[in-house]
Amino acid sequence: MSFITRFAPSPTGYLHLGHAYSAILAHDAAREAGGKFLLRIEDIDATRCRPEFETAIYEDLAWLGLRWSDPVRRQSEHFDDYAAALETLRKLGVVYRCFLTRKEIAAASLSAPHEPGEAPDGVIYRGPAQRMSGEEEESRIARGETFAWRLSIKYSQDLLGEDFARLVFVERDEGSNTERAITARPELLGDVILGRKDTPTSYHLSVVHDDALQGITCIIRGQDLRASNHIHVLLQKLLGLPTPVYMHHHLLTGPDGKRYAKRDRSLTLAALREAGVSPAEIRARIGLSV
Ligand code: GLU
């Protein structure tokens, strides 16, 4: 099987050294394997994404010396695809409309994730005690109440039976070819959101859809997204999609010992480039050989 990997940033800020590490790691892995490196722009959140950040992504990556295979996939151009995937899940009966407000969800949730980043939005919602009746749904919709589509762990478990406990993914260690099989435990993340009124998809749904569509065989990304795998493997099973190999790299920290974040403006690649830092120095700074 040929090797295809990707870098999938969201244009919600300028790229920093942590992004450079992720992108170079994926790029170099593809080169070494004689495979392909793709770029995907994950711009489903219209309120946070900005064109200037997207432009900067292309500039920063090209400046680092990275080359990607065309076409670049921009998720905002493919909402129909994600709606179709959601419809498939709806037909399977594994998603439901959730009318709870954020406040109500927070009150009904377990706020402490098992490990950092386990629930990327910080809350784990275990789902309603019972399914809402069709009449109640209709009357709430008629009243103009908004809702989110959530993936039900319980209904997925009911549908998949014993296969639910057999969901596995292969994880590769950073910096070696050691691989191990991990049993997925989607219940750790609870009933995640797959679509909202304002954004008719979610990170989980669109990333799983696109990784399959683009034939990604190995996903290389930061540790902060590791917990999402547990949900992604379930979605792959439900949608009949293949499960790639995963490699989650350590998260880079700055001089203050904190993880790089988009808010650290002084450490963006754009700022470092303007300050005269060279791409080779960037590689050295993040511990990668030229
Ligand atoms: N778009 C995500 C981010 O910028 C990364 C998605 C992924 O690599 O799975 O954090």
Average pLDDT, the chain: 92
Tokens read off for 130: 């019972």
State pLDDT tens for residues 6-64: 999 999 999 999 999 999 999 999 999 999 999 999 999 999 999 999 999 999 999 99
Residues of the chain with CATH 3.40.50.620: 1-77+252-290
Lowest mean pLDDT among 97-101, 208-212, 260-264, 285-289: 260-264
- Reported as a single tens digit per residue, the pLDDT across 108-122 is 765 544 443 445 556
In percent, the amount of the chain with pLDDT more than 70 equals 93
Give the number of the atom of ligand 1 that is nearest the alpha carbon of residue 6.
Answer: 8
pLDDT at 115: 44
**CATH assignment of 1-77+252-290, among 3.30.2320.50, 3.40.950.10, 3.40.50.620, 3.40.630.10:** 3.40.50.620
CA 260 – CA 257 distance, rounded (Å): 9
CA of 174 to the centre of ligand 1 (A): 18
Residues of the chain with CATH 3.90.800.10: 79-213+226-241
Q: Is 42 in the pocket of ligand 1 (CB under 6 A)?
A: yes
For 79-213+226-241, CATH gives 3.90.800.10
168-195 pLDDT tens trace: 999 999 988 899 999 999 999 999 999 9
pLDDT in tens, 125-176: 999 989 999 999 999 999 999 999 999 999 999 999 999 999 999 999 998 8
Environment class of 55 (CB within 10 Å of its CB; exposed 0-12, middle 13-18, buried 19+): exposed
CB count, 10 Å around CB of 286?
Answer: 16
Provide the pLDDT for residue 1.
56
User: How much is the average pLDDT of 64-89?
Assistant: 97
Choose the residue to mutate in 221, 245, 251 for probing ligand 1, maximizing ligand atoms within 8 Å of C-beta: 221
pLDDT recorded at residue 52: 97
CA–CA distances in Å: residue 272 to residues 16, 20, 51, 150, 259? 9, 12, 20, 41, 17
Going by C-alpha positions, the residue among 78, 59, 46, 51 that lies closest to residue 19 is: 59
The two structure tokens encoding residue 103: 């406040």
Q: Is the CB of 11 under 6 A from ligand 1?
A: no
Ligand 1 midpoint to CA 207 (Å): 8
Angle between helices 17-33 and 51-63 (to 10 degrees): 50
CA nearest ligand 1 atom 3, residue: 9
What pLDDT score was predicted for residue 179?
95
